[in-house]
Amino acid sequence: MAKFKKKTKTEENIPTSALPDIIFMLLFFFMVTTVLREQELLVEQKLPQATQLQKLEKKSLISYLFLGKPKNPSVYGTEPRIQANDALITTKDIIQWVNQEKDKLSEAERDQIYISLKADRDVKMGPVADIQLELREADARKILYASVGKLNEE
């Protein structure tokens, strides 16, 4: 028996030097596919589900409008509120906000502005319709109802 024991002197270490490479690959994937959270959300956001989703091609043309119940009801109440650029605004401010957003774009792209409406799924149509009416007034007519894909598609 002792004879055999002497012969089996194999390396006990498992080479793990490839592990960091794998992790780095994962890391790069996440770095590329994600964006840093740009703004603090002040309203609740549970996007509705839909199947016919489209992706917008030019990100620079998109401006975001959030709609939902405030996260801090003791300060802002429980009615759905609109958030644009870190602040809660009222329906009347939308035209001004659209014009500000348009000014950020170049002359040629100004009328191509896309408004991505990120509305909570519990919101009623009333505030949504108010926003649409104001957007029509502000001549920002392209709208994207932000939604997430349905998991159980027929």
Partner 1 sequence: MPRKKSRMSQEVNAGSMADIAFLLLIFFLVTTTIASDKGITNVLPPKIDPNQPPPEVDKNERNIFKILINSNDQLLVEEDFRDNTDGLDKEIKEFILNFGDPDQENVDLFNSLPPSLKAQAGQDPNSSDHPNEAVVSIKTNRGTSYDLYLEVLDKVKKAYYEIYAERVGLTADEYRALSSRTAAEKELMDRGKENLPMAISIAEPDKGGE
Q: Give me the residues that bind partner 1 (CB under 8 A), please.
A: 16-17, 19-20, 23-24, 26-27, 30-31, 33-37, 47-48, 50-57, 59, 62, 116, 119-126, 128-129, 132-133, 135-137, 139, 141-149
Count of residues in the chain: 154
Q: Give the residue with the Cβ less far from partner 1, 1 or 12.
A: 12
Least separation, in Å, of the C-beta of 1 and partner 1?
28
- The label of the residue with tokens 């602040």 reads 87
What is the closest distance, in whole angstroms, from the C-beta atom of residue 145 to partner 1 in the complex?
Answer: 5
Q: Which is nearer to partner 1, 3 or 124 (CB)?
A: 124
Residue closer to partner 1 by CB (options 19, 87) is 19
Render the burial of 104-130: b for 16+ CB within 10 Å, e for the rest. eeeeeebeebbbbbbbbeebeeebeeb
CB closer to partner 1, 4 vs 38: 38
Burial of 84 (C-beta count, 10 Å sphere; 0-12/13-18/19+) = buried
CA atoms within 13 A on the CB side of 33: 6
Residue 149 CB, nearest distance to partner 1 (Å)?
A: 7
